[in-house]
């Protein structure tokens, strides 16, 4: 008799978790529509830190990647952040992607997944896997430095003439002249930095300019963006309805590298801004030419390492834009570091005050004891007389 075939004696698989599926196909975009407590199925690799934090806030039970969790091309700490918070990351063969249907019940075991009446093997993505992929991604980025620099300089030479020309004078309601401008994009750490910028926003009342998901972040934090500059497909319905002045970034070359779709079909209440580079470059140039005093950036890519790591090709325009704007451009992290008051002197002052109070109390106690003893002696002498 094959005793292992009897369920009474068969080893039970180790259950990881179970729940309903939420499936995202294509680019990650935003997880605003993701219900809490779901198992997220993805067809893309390389979850970024901001995306991982958003998934944690939505209490995902697990992440299932149809393919690799990390490609080994782009470095990211997103998967590590999820693993540190005990969110399982599971890899399955990409051929099973069609089996995962939205809101279907899924059960994840140690090395197997059961969904839709089918079971197939899976693999847990571990911290050791993340470390190996992260090292490979960093090595890959280093290898691309030289061709990336050559590519950047070639773009800069091609676009330098376009940068000399002024942008079209858009008839905006928002006044930039003499005001600080807070420019919010969706780069690394932008949500956390935006929350930390609340004091600056309250104190200076800057123009609030959102780029892509940066505009959504402003709305999510209770701010009303004055101006939004983005490619048409990066503007959410919520932003279209926010009342902000919408500026759709287009490319001056009709044979440009990107297709912005047909922005005119989205809303009649917007402006078109033909400009070199990406939407971040267009937003910075707009704020600069409109007379913004200080351009404070949140989540705007500024470093070559950001572009090399993500394989972005428009660093040439970014380099030229930064050269043109010059010292008026400040990242919010730098501003916070300069305005943050040191806390060491506070601790020393509190320690000094505490010790002083202790010594004063001890002195008063000793004085009371001395006076009591002195009065006792005096009364004793008076009684003796």
What stretches of the chain show up as alpha helix (H) in DSSP?
49-57, 78-84, 127-143, 145-164, 190-196, 198-204, 213-220, 237-240, 279-289, 304-310, 315-325, 332-339, 344-384
Q: What is the mean pLDDT of each run of 10 residues along the chain (385 residues)?
A: 46 82 68 82 85 88 92 87 94 89 90 90 93 86 68 67 77 92 87 87 94 91 94 88 91 51 52 86 91 90 60 66 81 66 52 57 57 60 53
In the chain, the percentage of residues whose pLDDT exceeds 70 is: 67
Q: Under CATH, which number does the domain 12-136 receive?
A: 3.20.19.10
Give tens-digit pLDDT for 120-160.
899 999 999 999 999 888 877 667 666 666 666 766 666 66
* Parallel/antiparallel/unpaired status of strands 227-230 and 207-210: parallel
Q: Can you read off the two tokens belonging to residue 48?
A: 């970024």
Nearest one of 58, 296, 307 to 188, comparing CA atoms? 307
Query: What backbone phi and psi angles, to 5 degrees, belong to 332?
Result: -60, -30
Question: Which residues touch 230 (CB under 8 Å, ≥6 apart)?
Answer: 210, 211, 212, 215, 247, 248, 249, 279
- The pTM for the full model equals 0.62
Q: In this predicted structure, what is the pLDDT of residue 137?
A: 83
Give the whole-angstrom CA distance, residue 297 versus residue 282: 13
pLDDT confidence of residue 114: 92
H/E run at residue 231: none
pLDDT at 48: 83
pLDDT at position 207, please? 95
Q: Enumerate the domain spans of the chain.
A: 12-136, 169-339
**Is residue 119 classed as helix, strand or coil in its secondary structure?**
strand
Angle subtended at Cα 338 by Cα 333 and Cα 340, rounded to the nearest 5 degrees: 90
Under CATH, which number does the domain 169-339 receive? 3.40.50
Indicate the average pLDDT of the chain. 78
């Amino acid at each position: 008799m094959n005793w292992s075939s009897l369920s009474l004696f068969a080893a039970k698989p180790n259950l990881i978790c179970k729940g309903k599926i939420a499936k995202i196909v294509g680019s990650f975009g935003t997880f605003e529509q993701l219900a809490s407590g779901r198992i997220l199925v993805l067809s893309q690799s390389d979850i970024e830190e901001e995306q991982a934090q958003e998934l944690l806030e939505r209490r995902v039970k697990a992440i299932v990647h149809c393919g690799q969790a990390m490609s080994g091309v782009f470095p990211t700490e997103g998967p590590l952040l999820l693993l540190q918070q005990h969110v399982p990351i599971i890899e399955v063969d990409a051929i099973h992607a069609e089996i995962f249907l939205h809101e279907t019940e899924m059960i994840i075991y140690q090395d197997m997944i059961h969904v839709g009446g089918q079971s197939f093997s899976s693999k847990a993505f571990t911290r050791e896997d993340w470390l190996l992929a992260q090292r490979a991604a960093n090595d890959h980025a280093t290898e691309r430095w030289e061709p990336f620099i050559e590519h950047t300089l070639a773009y800069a030479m091609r676009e330098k003439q376009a940068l000399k020309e002024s942008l079209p004078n858009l008839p905006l309601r928002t006044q930039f002249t003499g005001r600080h401008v807070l420019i919010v994009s969706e780069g690394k750490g932008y949500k956390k930095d935006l929350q930390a910028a609340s004091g600056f926003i309250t104190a200076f009342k800057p123009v609030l300019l959102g780029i892509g998901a940066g505009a959504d972040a402003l709305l999510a934090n209770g701010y009303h963006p004055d101006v939004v500059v983005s490619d048409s497909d990066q503007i959410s319905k919520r932003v279209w309805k926010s009342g902000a002045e919408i500026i759709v970034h287009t490319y001056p070359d009709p044979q440009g590298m990107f297709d912005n779709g047909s922005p005119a079909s989205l809303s009649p209440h917007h402006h078109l801004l033909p400009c070199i580079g990406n939407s971040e470059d267009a937003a910075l140039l707009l704020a600069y030419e409109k007379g913004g005093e200080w351009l404070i950036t949140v989540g705007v890519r500024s470093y070559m390492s950001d572009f090399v790591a993500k394989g972005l090709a428009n660093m040439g325009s970014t380099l030229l834009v930064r050269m043109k704007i010059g010292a008026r451009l400040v990242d919010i992290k730098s501003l916070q570091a300069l305005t943050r008051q040191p806390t060491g002197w506070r601790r020393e002052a509190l320690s000094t005050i505490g010790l002083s109070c202790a010594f004063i109390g001890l002195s008063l106690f000793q004085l009371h004891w001395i006076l009591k003893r002195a009065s006792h002696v005096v009364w004793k002498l008076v009684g003796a007389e």
